[in-house]
Amino acid sequence: MTTYLGMPAYAPRGVGQLRGERSFPAAAREALADTQLRGNLGRATAGRVVLR
């Protein structure tokens, strides 16, 4: 038995999985250039161990 959680399994035809105004590489370049964001992410993830 499956339960519908309100999200489609696939993106609508003609629409990619990532939606935004800019391409992913352009958004990634901007995010990587943001030293404040990189510092915050570094502090937020420092010392965390991911167990799988």
Place of tokens 């105004």: 21
Q: Which of 10-19, 24-33, 36-45 has the lowest mean pLDDT?
A: 10-19
Higher pLDDT residue, 30 or 6? 30
How many residues are there in the chain?
A: 52
Using CA atoms, how far residue 26 sits from 18, 19, 20, 31, in Å, is 13, 13, 11, 9
Place of tokens 């939606």: 19
pTM: 0.46
Average pLDDT rounded to a whole number, residues 14-40: 84
The whole-number pLDDT of residue 44 equals 87
Distance CA 30, CA 23 (A): 11
The whole-angstrom distance between residue 39's C-alpha and the CA centroid of its chain comes to 18
Residue 16 and residue 23 in contact, taking contact as beta carbons nearer than 8 Å: no
Average pLDDT rounded to a whole number, residues 27-34: 91
